[in-house]
Amino acid sequence: MPGRTGSPPPVTERDRPSCVHLVDPVPVAIHTRRPDDAPVARFSASDPTPGLDVARNPLVARLLHDRKFQFLLILPNQIIFWFVIGIGLLGTVVPGLNFATAITWYLWFCLVFVMMVVVGRAWCAMCPFGGFGEWIQRHAFWQRKGSSIGLGLKMPEKVAQYGFLLSVGAFLLLTWIEEFFNIAGPGNPASTSYMVLGIVGSALLFFLIFERRTFCRYVCPLTALIGTVGTMGSVAGFRTRDREVCQSCATKDCMRGDASGYGCPWYTWPGSADSNSTCGLCTECYKACPSDNIGLFLQKPLTSVVAPTRRRADVAWSVALLFGLVVYQQLNALTPVMNLDTWLNAHTIFPHYPDPIGYLGIIGAVALVMAASSWLIARIFVRRDFVPAAGGRSFVDRTSTFRTYFVPLMYGIIPVVGADYFARQLPKFFQHVPRVPVAIGHLFGVGSTRSSLYHASLISSNAGIIAVQVGVMVLGTLAAMWTTWRIAGRDLAPVSSRRRAVQVSATSFALALGVATAVLYVLMNAAD
């Protein structure tokens, strides 16, 4: 097979990933209660492939087997971000003219959200933060080395079990820091550089302490956001072509590594993956598979939102908290919430927005509203069966629980959350992205604040920006209504005798969230 040379390096204990890191390491039974209470196999060899396998194309296959491929994906971003750090510290203090702030806050952040929605974890495949740490850890740019630098520890299972919630915590902290110091205002360009350096330093520290891409899988501030919103994307990731071959494989080189590839840095076994949520598109499993049984699949949009049959609670709570954050940012543009924040600042040690009490309080309150709504729907539609018990008494067997409803409903509203985050970035993009070429010109002494382009906007009126934001929310709401209808029909209907009523309620829930967020954009008057 192309790209295979030599014999595989010896498999050591540190090469064996702990089960807590794997996504469904072996086929298991679905634990959702079915009407006939019969166990259902998680996977079978006859399961259809998730979509179009582009790795069947010889040119694509040759590219994916090339060990320089991901290095060349990461290198341009690596150069740009080190340039951002340097220009932020040494360049002009005018934010709109500084390349670091202009490229980061007017263009990059918006493009990342586009990549999430269209592709999934495309950013992870080219991320300079993880790439730099991985180069140091492997002490190589693209070569397959048999050893690594660092302690090579595994993430403790008691910590790893929280999954995306660790990343959500990091994202909430980073967002609070960014808001408190007005980094993305944008404020002082040096602050952007310090923030990027902080992320790079944190990533490197984790790469030197823990094995593989533990930082990317659990701690990176963006991994939960990309891993949830990215499920809307059309790239399914690397999956097994024939699960029977994958299940009978004795070596599991895709997880342990061999001479051609490292074991999956993301701890995701292709043999059981039914979502693109944790596939970092690094190609290592593809390179390492001895049976040429792994492909790179494309799928219909929203497939990874609807398809999973074993949904994760950490993903559901992450969706609720991430939605709480973007709603907080919307609410804070309204006078009553601004006044509340001012009042809290006056009675705490924090001198200005955002007060952490209001910040965490509103985010937590929104998440609790999501949970309470799911609990209410569960209470309405739970199926109660009176089962005879010993002594002639009977008890109520609730075949549905809070989690049974909460987790699928949070998956279903992912398109609303994704649309909300994307719409939130649009004012800066429409109003200020023309400054990016001016900032680039300023590096060569030809850009200035007197330039007409510096004062130009793609959309100049607030009404125009609001119209686009509302349009984005309409599309996200329609997508969420479709996903909740499909998910409710498959995951929730079996635990209720009122199938259509459950689907209508779930869809109405998504509709209500979409309408509420769209109205907030109107009330915000295009605040950025």
CA pair distance 472, 227, nearest whole angstrom? 20
**Token pair of 33, please?**
């209660």
Question: Comparing C-alpha atoms, which of 338, 361, 342, 362 is closest to residue 352?
Answer: 342
The verdict on 329 and 280 lying in the same domain is no
The verdict on 342 and 377 lying in the same domain is yes
Q: What is the pLDDT along the chain (528 residues), one digit of tens a residue?
A: 344 433 344 444 344 444 344 443 333 332 333 333 333 334 343 344 568 999 999 999 999 999 999 999 999 999 999 999 999 999 999 999 999 999 999 999 889 989 998 889 999 999 999 999 999 999 999 999 988 999 999 999 999 999 999 999 999 999 999 999 999 888 899 999 999 999 999 999 999 999 999 999 999 999 999 999 999 999 999 999 988 898 889 899 999 999 889 999 999 999 888 899 999 999 999 999 999 999 999 999 999 999 988 899 999 999 999 999 999 999 999 999 999 999 999 999 889 889 999 999 999 999 999 999 999 888 887 654 444 545 554 444 454 578 889 999 999 999 999 999 999 999 999 999 999 999 999 999 898 999 999 999 999 899 999 999 999 999 999 999 999 999 998 888 665 557 788 899 999 999 999 999 999 999 998 887
Residue 296 lies in a domain: yes
The verdict on 318 and 302 lying in the same domain is no
The verdict on 254 and 296 lying in the same domain is yes
User: In terms of C-beta distances under 8 Å and separation of at least 24 residues, what long-range contacts does 46-52 make, across chains too?
Assistant: 47/243, 49/239, 49/241, 49/295, 49/297, 50/236, 50/239, 50/274, 50/297, 50/299, 50/303, 50/307, 51/236, 51/297, 51/298, 51/299, 51/300, 51/303, 52/297, 52/298, 52/299
Phi and psi at residue 396, to the nearest 5° = -95, 120
Last residue of a domain, one of 273, 306, 339: 306
Helices (H), 347-496: 356-381, 402-412, 414-432, 435-443, 462-487
Distance of CA 131 to the CA centre of its chain: 18
The helix (H) or strand (E) run that includes residue 398 is strand 394-398
Residue 36 lies in a domain: no
Half-sphere exposure of 231 (CA within 13 A, CB side): 30
Residue 503 lies in a domain: yes
**Token pair of 156, please?**
């403790």
Total Cβ atoms within 10 A of residue 117: 21
Residue 3 lies in a domain: no
Helices (H), 139-218: 157-160, 164-180, 189-209, 214
Which residues partner with 240 through β-bridges?
294
The verdict on 358 and 502 lying in the same domain is yes
**SS3 letters for 341-387?**
HHHHHHCCCCCCCCCHHHHHHHHHHHHHHHHHHHHHHHHHHCCEEEE
CA pair distance 415, 304, nearest whole angstrom? 11
The verdict on 297 and 317 lying in the same domain is no
Question: Comparing C-alpha atoms, which of 282, 294, 308, 309 is closest to residue 243?
Answer: 294
The DSSP string of 239-293 is EES-HHHHHH-SS-HHHHB-SS-BPPTT---TTT--SSTT-----HHHHH-TT--
What does DSSP assign to residue 210?
Answer: B
Amino acid residing at 185: G
Residue 165 lies in a domain: yes
Handedness of CA 401, 407, 412, 416 (dihedral sign): positive
**Token pair of 487, please?**
């998910």
Last residue of a domain, one of 278, 306, 334: 306
Cα–Cα distance list, 387 to 67, 382, 390 (Å): 61, 15, 10
The verdict on 439 and 321 lying in the same domain is yes
265: preceding bond cis by omega (within 30 degrees): no
- The set of residues, in sequence order, having a beta carbon less than 8 Å from that of 268 and lying 6+ positions away, is 22, 23, 278, 279, 280, 285
The helix (H) or strand (E) run that includes residue 238 is strand 235-240
The DSSP string of 62-119 is HHHH-THHHHHHHHHHHHHHHHHHHHHHHS-S-TTT-HHHIIIIIIIHHHHHHHHHHT
The verdict on 468 and 516 lying in the same domain is yes
The verdict on 295 and 343 lying in the same domain is no
Last residue of a domain, one of 283, 306, 329: 306
**Token pair of 124, please?**
């992870």
Number of domains in the chain: 2
pTM score of the predicted model: 0.87
Query: Can you give the residue range of the structural domain that contains 457?
Result: 313-383+396-524
Residue 236 lies in a domain: yes
**Burial of 18 by CB count in 10 Å (0-12 exposed, 13-18 middle, 19+ buried)?**
middle
The verdict on 210 and 94 lying in the same domain is yes
Which residues partner with 210 through β-bridges?
153
CA pair distance 264, 282, nearest whole angstrom? 8
The verdict on 210 and 341 lying in the same domain is no
Residue 42 lies in a domain: no
Total Cβ atoms within 10 A of residue 63: 14
Question: Comparing C-alpha atoms, which of 26, 24, 22 is closest to residue 267?
Answer: 22
Residue 390 lies in a domain: no
The verdict on 283 and 335 lying in the same domain is no
**Burial of 79 by CB count in 10 Å (0-12 exposed, 13-18 middle, 19+ buried)?**
exposed
